[in-house]
Amino acid sequence: MRARKFKGFQTTLARPIVFDGVGVHAGKPARLVLSPADADRGIVFVRQDDGGREVEIAARYDMVVATDLCTVLGKDGVSVATVEHLMAALRALDVDNVLIEVDGPETPILDGCSASFVDAITEAGLTVLAAPRRAVRILKTVRVEQGDAVAELSPFEGARYDVTIDFADALIGRQSYVLDLDAASFRAEIARARTFGFMRDVEKLWKMGFALGSSLENSVALGDGRILNPEGLRWADEFVRHKTLDAVGDLALAGLPFIGCYRSFKGGHRMNVAVLKALFADPTAYEIVPLAPIRAGETIAAGAAAI
């Protein structure tokens, strides 16, 4: 299928996908099973509570219960942590409906980015469903500030992410990145950008029982004034690329693709979610719009036609 500017019908996976790995914080085995879902189902995580009851947690901003170390969704006392890398891949590849069974409190960290998710979803392919696809169009600028951190959504004809980070450490410093999101740009520029952290912080987290699954296999580690990974960085600005990946994943919690520009300065999970909450708190700031049609019922390659 020739790529088009808009997909007018919703999609789901063409077949189930299984991911096995470890959770980055508990360091315990973690499995995800992604299954096709009906139109208008959205992206839904499914977990069992302590009594064996299945709890469905919609992948939406209003289900976010924590943003300190990662983005955590929760409902009825159960939660799923570190959803942002998977959510970024689903959004970039235009997967609208999927059931995600998870056997514990975390998604597997895999390679510390979205590359494994992108590869598996691409291989599985997508099926176009007989239901119209919609998007959130930004009508006016919505801005949130916390200290010197800023995040805003503003009108723009496309899906743009304009992210700036500013770290005191000279290894990172100030970096900016602009991404006009589609499947090709995400694969080439963002999907392989890994999560990162300073060893001094990781050691503190270890003592607190967090980051137990973090390693040089899934994270960029900084310490003693250098990059500790033997292979070094994948890009000189891998840090801001990863923050852009996180933004794509967190803003996917809008529940629909958006038409607009997202800008952040010294942002992160907390700011990404805060700007979504501010947007949907103001009905005059957005509208839900249909997208131009394509044929329903056909199977396509993931990301073959992106917003």
Identify the active-site residue in 25, 41, 243, 269. 269
Lowest mean pLDDT among 92-101, 109-118, 192-201, 244-253: 192-201
> Is pTM beyond 0.75 here?
yes
Higher pLDDT, 295 or 47: 47
Q: Which of 197, 192, 11 is nearest to 96 (CA)?
A: 11
CA–CA gap between residue 248 and residue 245 (Å, rounded): 5
Instruction: Give me the mean pLDDT over the 267-296 stretch.
Output: 90
Q: What are the structural domains, with CATH classification, of the chain?
A: 9-300 (3.30.1700.10)
Q: What's the CA dihedral at 183, 153, 161, 276 to 10 degrees?
A: -60
Confidence band for 20, pLDDT divided at 50, 70 and 90: very high
CA angle 30, 59, 4 (to 5 degrees): 105
Q: What is the CA radius of gyration of the chain?
A: 18
**280 backbone dihedrals φ, ψ, rounded to 5°:** -75, -10
Give CA–CA dist 21/103, Å, rounded.
11
Give the model's pLDDT for residue 297.
Answer: 56
| Residue 101's pLDDT band (cuts 50, 70, 90) | very high
Q: Based on DSSP, count helices (H) and strands (E) in the chain, helices before strands.
A: 6, 21
Q: Can you say which residues are annotated as belonging to the binding site for Zn(2+)?
A: 85, 242, 246
Convert the pLDDT of each residue in 143-199 to its tens digit.
999 999 999 999 999 999 999 999 999 999 999 999 999 999 999 999 999 999 888
Binding-site annotation: residue ranges: 85, 242, 246
Decide if 269 is catalytic: yes
